[in-house]
Each structure stands twice: as structure tokens, then as C-alpha cells.
Amino acid sequence: MLGIKEFLKPSVLGYYKRCEVTQISFYKDNHEEESNLLTLFIFDEENFQGRNEIFLTGKKNKINSKYKLCIKRFYLSIEESIELFNCLNQGVSKTSSLKKYIFNDNPLKLLPQQFITTNEDIRFNKILKNNFHSGSYIFEFFDEEKDFELLFGLNKSGRLKKISKMIGEVVPIDLLSCTDCLGNYIFQLPITILNVHTNKNKNILGIDFYWHNNLINEVKPNCLINIYSKVDNNYLFDIFEEYNKENHQKINILPSGKNYVLKIWNNDLKILLYEMNSKYFEKFRVSLSMSECERKFIEDNGESEVTIMSNPKLSDDISYLNYRNDAMYKKNLKELEDNLKFNTYMQNENALEDIKTLINEYGKNGVNIIDPYLEPNDLIRTVVHLKFYDAPIKAITSLKNSFNELLIMKEMLEQLPNQNIVQNFKNVLNEKIEKEKKSNLECIEDYKKELDEKIINSCGLNLVFRAQFDRYGQPFHDRFLIFPGDDEKLLEPIVFSLGTSLNAFGKHFHILQEVSHPQHVADVFDKLWGILEQKEECLIWNSKE
């Protein structure tokens, strides 16, 4: 396996002359105890003209009352960058002038080199610099301890969002996409020795090779070209062909209608120089529609109309891919159902068993549930079955909520002249407000009494049940089952949309499905919980009291 010195040699990946360093760190106000958040070393082909240190952060760099953010850019020669690499790998020499750039006291683990393609969906491309030509190799020193408790405090995910936003306003780095890189040192070697363009004509793939200017009159490296296409994890074809050392090469491939993957290897050094995943249009059609009529209707704000277009019926060519894609869709749906990530229910007595399964599969860090019709019996049939000792369970229900509307009506009446009829309305409203408030408080007492009676032994149970009502928080409609993330490991929560309230679960048609953006839902829950937590009246039951 080649080391970084071999990768940096001219004509291997490029012709590097210097290393640009972007160092993101935080420090206390007294400039002591500086710590590394992320340091990127990017090799390029500009001439080295000194370190030229500059601070990219201005005055608005305060993270909290104790810490400030620092983003610094400077340059190293190739020799200095190798020396710093060795310091990270073998320990910092006391005599090295580069020791001031290494903040970690924690031991760092050097990971095997990684090839990062240009695919924009790859997380690393959110932090690497300009990785959109032929890809990059990276060498990563990984901080496995990541002890940032003093910086992040209890609100780790919220504080990290703030820091990531501050960084993104200065440099194009999305730290939130790569939280596993916190505290790491990453050396990026962009591949500039080769760029490739492709074109396809029927079953022939044409490859144009654009070599580095320094190689135009030199012998090209021995390369191996690999092209393959897969459907349902099966290879339709997998072709290997030696590079002809010309600027253009044609390769016969099979039609697949799917994506092709092209890889070009340096056959002598056994390293990847290029990878591309692409799809070519093999046929297209034009569809024309004509205006048929105007549909008119009345909305609350007046009359509206929609132009109705003709819908031409085009017969699709049926190929084996239609059948294969349909089979893959059914297979994927079956996997989602088996993993309870998507399921439909109708008159299903076992529906609540699926909720119990989810709770005991994902509930190690706790369970949060929000349901406007949540009652004690729903908790007893579901979250009380959680097997993890002392795992926190937070539950929110919603009581009668005409209280807000009554108060708004009362405030409107306050603006009117104080006539007898107005005063009579005020008196009626006051009676209704007091009656509803009393009804909600009675409901809370009934719920508390029911839980006290039904939970005989609360061993290992850490359940807090709160109610949203009156002006305590906002009324809500959606129902979610939330499994909090792990702040220590910066793992996202897992969230399921219930589709209906637990008291109706499995009694009529509804869908249970995993949510695509779970952190947003978890944040909304935490915000409402924080409001209700401040109001003693909102507490229904606490297993610890």
C-alpha cells in the first residue's frame, strides 16, 4: 500500500507544489486551550511563497460565553506538509516549528487512504475543496474520543448547528454533514493528472482522455479500464480493457438501460485515477398537449378557474427492465414492511405489537411520543413495555383547546364600548373559560389517578407524561413516535409517523412510516416539551415522584 509520500510524487496523482491548510478551531477568550474542530490540508499546483497566515473569522466569532471560533488559512511546502503528517502519525517533535498547528492531546488513528468520487451525494464532498473533476484521495487522522463536552454542553445538536452555520458563512464547509469528522485532520490530494469525457453511440462507449499538460509529450501510464452495469445487484456486464495510450478509445458494451460505472486504474501502482457513474438517454419522445376547456369554481376568496389540458396516451415500450424494476419495487416494499419502516394497517389486532417491537428495538436512549389523544391506557399498552432500565420516556397529550379561541374573543370584546350586551357576553365567556380550565384540570387528575392505580410497580420506569392545554404551548395534530439520538456519538434520532392516534391504532386504515428528516421533528418535540416543563399545571404523571 502506497504512503502519502508516494502519492505526492509528480505524475502519480498530479504535480503538487504546495499545501493549502484551512484550520477550524475553538479557544477560550484568553486564547488558551485551543482545540481542533477540523483541519483540511489541500494539495495544489500553485508555487509555494511562504505560509502567509490569515484569519478568516472576524469579530462575530463568539460561540458562547466561554468560547470563540477561529478559522485560519495558511500554506505549507510539500516537505513541511509531510513533516506535519509524520508529526500527527508518530507524535509531535518538541523542536518542530509545526507543533503549533497540532492541538489534539487525544491519540489520533490514521485511517487507510480513501478515494472520494465527485458524486455530490457523498458526505465528504460537503467539506472537501472543489472535488468535482476526477475525484480525490484523502488521508484522515481520526479523533476517536471527540471530547467536546465543554464546548457543546447539554445542547450538543443545537450548538453544533450554530457552529456549522458560522463556519459555512466563512468557508464552503458543511460540518453538520460530517459530524464524525469533528477533531480530525484530513489531507486531500485532488487528482489532476487525468480528466475524462465520455460519449455513447449505440453499443460503443467513446472515452476521451485529457492528460496533465506535463504529460502531453511523455509516456502515458499503463492503465486498465473497467466498465460495468448492475441491475438488482447482478452484473449485466463487467468489462476490463487495457488503455491504448491514445487520446481516444472506443469500447463495445452491452445495452442495459441502466447506469454505467467507468473506472480507470493505474495498473502499475494499483490506484484509482478516475470513476464516473453516468446514464445515457437511449431514446426520447415528445408529447404535446392542447387546451381542452376551462374549469371554474368558487373559493372563499372568490371565483377561480383552471385550464384543463388534453392528456395524450402514449404506449410505452415494454422491456425486461419493466418487469425487473417492478420486482425490485415489491422486494424493497417487503423489506420496509419487515423492518416496520413502512406498514399499512386495517382492523389489525397485532398493530400495537409492532409499536412494542419498535420501542424495544430503538428505545435504548429513550422514547418520546406526541399524540393529541394520548391517554393513560395507551401508555400502558405501549411505552410501559420498554425493557431498558431507566430509559427516559416523555409523552405529550393535548386536552380541550377551545380555551385560546375564548380568550381571543374576550380580548376583542375588551375593545368594544362597555355596554350591557357586551358585558353580558364577557360574563358568559368568563364562565366558559373557567369551566374549560376546570375540566382540563379534572382530566389531568383523572389521568394521574388511572396511572397510579394501573402501574403497580414502576421498577426501572422513567416516564413523564405532560399535557398541552390552555395557552401552555401550541395545540398540535400530528402523531409521532420519536427515538432520541445519541448526543455523545452525534447520532440522529429515529422518528416514525403513526398515521393515527394510539387509541385507534389498528382499528381503521392508516400508515406507519419512518420519517425522512427526523431531527426537525425531534427539535419541535423538544421545544414544546421545554415549554410544558416550565408549567407545573401541565404535569400529569411522573414515575419518579
For 164-199, write each residue's pLDDT tens digit: 888 999 999 998 888 888 889 999 999 999 999 988
Q: What are phi and psi of 26, to 5 degrees?
A: -135, 155
Choice among 158-167, 347-356, 389-398 with the minimum mean pLDDT: 347-356
- In which order are the strands placed within the sheet that holds 194-201? 194-201, 204-211, 248-252
One domain for residues 310 and 257: no
Q: Kindly report, residue by residue over 396-412, the tens digit of the pLDDT.
A: 998 865 555 556 566 66
Please indicate whether residue 68 or residue 345 has the higher confidence score (pLDDT): 68
One domain for residues 306 and 273: no
Q: What is the 3-state secondary structure (H, E, C) of 31-81?
A: CCCCEEEEEEEEEECCCCCCCCCEECCCCCCECCCCEEEEEEEEEEEHHHH
What per-residue confidence (pLDDT) applies to 61? Answer: 80
- Unique residue bearing C-alpha cell 399545571: 537
Name the nearest CA neighbour of 37 among 189, 204, 175, 165.
Answer: 175
Give Cβ neighbours of residue 539 (< 8 Å, ≥ 6 apart): 464, 465, 466
Name the nearest CA neighbour of 395 among 403, 404, 384.
Answer: 384
Burial class (CB in 10 A: 0-12, 13-18, 19+), 254: exposed
For the chain, what percent of residues have pLDDT higher than 70? 74
Q: Check whether 309 has a pLDDT greater than 80.
A: no
Position 154 confidence tier, pLDDT thresholds 50, 70, 90? very low
Maximal C-alpha separation, the chain? 102
Residue where a domain terminates, one of 172, 189, 206: 189
Q: What is the span of the domain harbouring residue 491?
A: 295-540
Residue where a domain terminates, one of 157, 189, 221: 189
Give the chain's domain count. Answer: 3
Q: Kindly report, residue by residue over 433-468, the tens digit of the pLDDT.
A: 666 666 778 888 889 889 988 888 888 899 999 998
One domain for residues 178 and 213: no
One domain for residues 236 and 270: yes
One domain for residues 502 and 447: yes
Asked if 237 and 254 count as a contact pair (C-beta separation under 8 A), the reply is yes
- 165 — alpha (psi -120 to 50), left (phi > 0) or beta? alpha
Q: Is 283 among the domain residues?
A: no
Residue 205 maps to which CATH number? 2.60.40.10
One domain for residues 239 and 328: no
Q: Is 288 among the domain residues?
A: no
Q: Is 289 among the domain residues?
A: no
Q: Is 286 among the domain residues?
A: no
What per-residue confidence (pLDDT) applies to 418? Answer: 65
Q: Check whether 147 has a pLDDT greater than 60.
A: yes
Q: Is 282 among the domain residues?
A: no
What per-residue confidence (pLDDT) applies to 195? Answer: 92
Name the nearest CA neighbour of 355 among 199, 185, 505, 511.
Answer: 505
- How many whole angstroms separate alpha carbon 465 and alpha carbon 462? 10
Please indicate whether residue 518 or residue 40 has the higher confidence score (pLDDT): 40
Name the nearest CA neighbour of 443 among 543, 545, 538, 531.
Answer: 538
Asked if 492 and 503 count as a contact pair (C-beta separation under 8 A), the reply is no
One domain for residues 40 and 9: yes
Q: Is 545 among the domain residues?
A: no
Q: Is 290 among the domain residues?
A: no
Q: Is 284 among the domain residues?
A: no
- How many whole angstroms separate alpha carbon 287 and alpha carbon 292? 16
Q: Kindly report, residue by residue over 244-293, the tens digit of the pLDDT.
A: 999 999 998 876 656 789 999 999 999 999 998 876 555 555 555 565 67
Strands 35-44 and 184-190: parallel
- How many whole angstroms separate alpha carbon 141 and alpha carbon 138? 10
Choice among 50-59, 95-104, 336-345, 357-366 with the minimum mean pLDDT: 336-345
One domain for residues 517 and 391: yes
One domain for residues 391 and 514: yes
Asked if 185 and 141 count as a contact pair (C-beta separation under 8 A), the reply is yes
Q: What is the CA radius of gyration of the chain?
A: 31
Name the nearest CA neighbour of 526 among 342, 370, 354, 386.
Answer: 370
One domain for residues 179 and 52: yes
One domain for residues 204 and 326: no
Q: What are phi and psi of 484, to 5 degrees?
A: -60, 150
Terminal Cα-to-Cα distance of the chain (whole angstroms): 61
One domain for residues 162 and 217: no
pTM of the predicted protein model? 0.67
